[in-house]
Structure formats: structure tokens, C-alpha cells
Amino acid sequence: MGAPEPPGSRRPGGRTARNRAAVVEATLAELARHGYPGLTVENVAERSGVHKTTVYRRWGGVDGLIVDALDAAGEDDWPAPVTGSWETDLRAVAYEVVDTFTDPERAAVPSAVVHAAFHSERAATALHGFLAGRHSRAADAIARGALPGSVDAAAVVRSVTAPLYCRLFITGERVNRDVADQAVAAAVAAVRAGVYG
Amino acid sequence: MGAPEPPGSRRPGGRTARNRAAVVEATLAELARHGYPGLTVENVAERSGVHKTTVYRRWGGVDGLIVDALDAAGEDDWPAPVTGSWETDLRAVAYEVVDTFTDPERAAVPSAVVHAAFHSERAATALHGFLAGRHSRAADAIARGALPGSVDAAAVVRSVTAPLYCRLFITGERVNRDVADQAVAAAVAAVRAGVYG
């Protein structure tokens, strides 16, 4: 089987782009509604109005749908928080994770994607790329917020998100703004102690 | 359907206990070999020498097997590292996580269990209990290692393991002893700054 044509590679703004947008939107909606185990090409085709054979031909299957939805999400204009200080930027990043994952409606899609990554190498690779992009944008933001230039900004961002993701997806412990505040305080202490360069 | 009889609850040392030990061992061996998606009652029955109908009756199915294997693992005599100082205890905990998950043979079972927790609420609850037990033993150990009494030892342990688990299971980034050292250094800086009480 040949590699599928990269979605959206033809006639930007034409039917190909419209189909991709509709399929990505339908994939996210289906993930939000049924989670990863309930995602099917049939349902995405029906919801998007794109013919099932087109979805199979261009996306290959469920994994391809998730990969493309993550790629599309990574191309968005998510603004990393810019508050003027790297410490409050970090807090804003941490709060955004907490607020997203404690709201069942907002949590549905990202949770389903993490779930998918456990099933599929391709989904995992796409998730890793998506998170690396988010971390990198947040790192750029805190680096502009007067973080000392020698500090590894990406490591600082990861040190704040890791305790939250670990609780959410591994240990099943609660997350809330207090947990986020503690993660930020720990990151700030570590930066001041020179742990991140 | 009634609740299954708690495994091992009858005649300790007798056939019930022997069956449980054989089934737990077979469950772990099957998880190591085939991962969570390949775990079946049939294979566990065959490997353990316990009749399939007995396995179904007492463990209910794949989820029950994983839950009991985790319960059994939590009853073990895992010794939290006791090195004489809380900082080197912490480093030993972090290195144990790194060494386990960078050795494919040792990583197979715990990785399969984390995978299972994404599929099954019961497996997730059992995993959360298992990790809480491990964290609590490690916290007791570092508390004896001259960690100031006011410090939340469990929070310190979690702050060291979280960056490792997050890389392993969420962001797909490498773990190694350098990453562990950085996590320990960050935890030590946070303790000194009073972040954990």
C-alpha cells in the first residue's frame, strides 16, 4: 500500500482543504463524544459529510485521523501566556492544564488523544510532536519574560506540566490550582538554585 | 453476578493460595510477553496450570487478573532505598525508575499495567493504589533520612518520579540518569525553599 497523499496537500482552499477541515472537526467531535475506543471511520465520515471511501483513501483509518487531527491542532494559533514575567507565565501555563483537565467537556479530546497514544505508535508520535510544539511555544514565552538567558526554558515548562500530567494520567491523583501553585513554586526554586542552567 | 470470592481468602497455604500464586505469576509472565492487548484468561490458565473455569470464576476476566497481580505486587517486600540521607534516598528512587524503564525486560510488566489502566477503571484504581503504596514507602524512607519533619515527604517523592513517568508515558521523551539527577536537584532546591512545607 502506498503512502496516503498528505491531507490538504492539494488545492488549498478548495475541496481538499474543506474536506480536511470537516474531517478533522468531525474526528475531534467524535473523540469528545465517544472517546478513542468509540472512534470509527464510519462515524467520522457521516458527521463530516465526506464519503467513507474518501476518508479511508486519504486517512487510512482511525490512527490516521488522530494523527491528522493532532497535526492540525499543532498548526493552530495557541497563544502561550505572556504576562510580562516568567513566573506568572509559568503559573498561567499550569492553570491552563488544570482548568482544561478538570472541565470534562474540555478534557474529553486531549484525554482521548493520550489514550490513543497508548494504542498506536503513530498516534503516540503525533502526540509527542504536538506536546513538544506546545512546550516550545511556552518556553519561548517565558524566555521573553525575563527568565535568565542561560536557563533551559523548555525544561522549566516541563517541570511545571509533568506533575500535572503524571497525576492526571498515571497516579490518578487530583489536580487543582493548589497543586499547580506548588509545581510553579518548585520550578521557581529550582531555577533560582541553578538546576536548569 | 455476585462479587467474586477474594482470591487467596481461603485456606492460606493450601490449594487456593497456590492457585493464586500461580495465576499471578502467569499473569505477569503473559503481560511481559504479550503486553496488555495480548492478555487472555485462556493463556493465563494454560501457563498457570489452573483450570480456565476456575480462573473465570475467581478472577472474572482479564481486568480481575491485572487487579489481583497489582494487589499481590503491592503486598511484596519492596525495600524503599535507605541510604542514610534523604537526598541520596531520593536519587536511588529516581535511578530505580530510570533503570527499570530503560531495560525492556524489566519495563514490560509495569508498562503493560499503565497501558491496562487506560482501558479499565478497575485496573486504573489498582494501579493508583499500588503507586500510592510505593510512594508512601519511599516517603517513609526519606523521612527517616533526616528530611526536616515539617516537609511533606510524599510530595517530595512524587516530585522526583513525576518528571520520569511523564516522559515515559506522555511526552515520549528519553529518560536517563541525567534526567533523574535534574529531577532530584529540583526537588532538593524546592525542599530547601520550603515549597513542600
pLDDT confidence of residue A179: 97
| B28 burial via Cβ count (<10 Å: 0-12, 13-18, 19+) | buried
Q: Which distant-in-sequence residues (6+ apart) come within 8 Å of B76 by Cβ?
A: none
pLDDT tens digit sequence for A14-52: 888 899 999 999 999 999 999 888 999 999 999 999 999
Query: CB-side exposure of A128: number of CA atoms within 13 Å?
Result: 16
pLDDT confidence of residue B10: 52
Mutant choice from A136, A166, A169, A173 vs B, greatest count of B C-beta within 10 A: A166
pTM for the complete prediction? 0.88
Which contacts of A3-8 are long-range, i.e. CB under 8 A and separated by 24 or more positions?
A: A4/A57, A4/A58, A4/A59, A4/A60, A4/A64, A5/A58, A7/A58, A7/A59, A7/A68
Q: Is A3's pLDDT higher than 50?
A: no
For chains A and B, count residue pairs whose Cβ atoms are closer than 8 Å. Answer: 108
Query: Whole-angstrom Cα distance, residue B94 to residue B177?
Result: 8
Q: Is A74's pLDDT higher than 70?
A: yes
pLDDT confidence of residue A2: 43
Q: Which residues in chain A have Cβ-Cβ distances shorter than 8 Å to B136?
A: none
pLDDT tens digit sequence for B51-93: 999 999 999 999 999 999 999 988 877 888 888 889 999 999 9
pLDDT tens digit sequence for B7-35: 545 555 688 889 999 999 999 999 999 98
Q: Which of A3, A114, A8, A6 is nearest to A66 (CA)?
A: A114
Q: Which residues in chain B have Cβ-Cβ distances shorter than 8 Å to A182?
A: 155, 195-196
pLDDT tens digit sequence for B138-184: 998 888 888 888 899 999 999 999 999 999 999 999 999 999 999 99
Query: Whole-angstrom Cα distance, residue A27 to residue B41?
Result: 34
- With CB atoms and an 8 Å threshold, state whether B165 touches A170: yes
- With CB atoms and an 8 Å threshold, state whether A186 touches B159: yes
pLDDT confidence of residue B129: 93
pLDDT confidence of residue A14: 85
Asked if residues A119 and A35 have their Cβ atoms less than 8 Å apart, the reply is: no
Q: Which residues in chain B have Cβ-Cβ distances shorter than 8 Å to A118?
A: 114-115, 118, 169
Q: Which distant-in-sequence residues (6+ apart) come within 8 Å of A92 by Cβ?
A: A81, A83
Of B124, B167, B186, the CB nearest to A186: B186
Q: Which residues in chain A have Cβ-Cβ distances shorter than 8 Å to B193?
A: 185, 188-189, 192-193
Q: Which residues in chain B have Cβ-Cβ distances shorter than 8 Å to A156?
A: none
pLDDT tens digit sequence for A4-14: 455 545 555 68
Residue of A nearest to B112 (CA): A118
